[in-house]
């Protein structure tokens, strides 16, 4: 027991000297920032605006936004929803937890897109909701790792 504790202290000390310490709450922060809630989105967005403060977490902030799809389809601002979706995909892939989290990440993406649509009314709202549904289902079907099989989710009656 003492030997194991001493070994872990040595690893922590070496990591501290080299600056390679990633905070232990990284998984919790990642999960919080990828929740399908406005609070999750807002926390991620605030951190994205101040990435330097989170640099020790070594998150992958890269994004191609909406990949090959428009970031502003029919004028709807989906760019940030796509960026957060990329953030979740990239960071869960990095820790080999992508498959276990993909469904939740896609649902968060859909929630973000639907929140964008709340700014509209009438026919614009209907068009936005339809576009959000289309983007969400494209992520479900095509948003996967090259070594993962494409497995669409069964219909979800809760939407």
Residue 65, sorted as left (phi over 0), alpha (psi -120 to 50) or beta, turns out to be left
Among 88, 71, 87, 70, residue whose Cα is nearest residue 79: 71
Q: Which of 25, 22, 17 minimizes the C-alpha distance to 55?
A: 22
Q: Would you state the structure tokens that stand for residue 148, as one six-digit string?
A: 């993962």
Active-site residue, from 85, 110, 137, 144:
85
Residue 85 is among the residues annotated as catalytic for this protein: yes
- Phi then psi for residue 133, to 5 deg, are -60, -45
Catalytic positions, written as ranges: 85
């Amino acid at each position: 027991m003492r030997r194991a504790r001493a070994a872990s202290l040595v690893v922590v000390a070496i990591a501290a000297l080299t600056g390679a310490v990633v905070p232990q709450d990284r998984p919790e922060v990642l999960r919080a920032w990828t929740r399908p809630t406005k609070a999750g989105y807002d926390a991620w967005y605030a951190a994205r605006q101040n990435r330097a403060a989170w640099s020790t977490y070594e998150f992958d902030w890269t994004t191609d936004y909406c990949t090959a799809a428009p970031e502003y389809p029919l004028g709807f601002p989906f760019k940030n929803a796509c960026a957060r979706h990329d953030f979740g995909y990239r960071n869960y892939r990095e820790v080999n937890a992508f498959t276990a989290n993909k469904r939740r990440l896609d649902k968060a993406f859909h929630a973000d897109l639907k929140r964008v649509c709340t700014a509209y009314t009438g026919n614009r709202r209907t068009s936005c909701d339809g576009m959000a549904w289309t983007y969400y289902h494209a992520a479900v079907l095509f948003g996967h790792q090259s070594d993962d099989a494409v497995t669409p989710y069964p219909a979800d009656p809760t939407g």
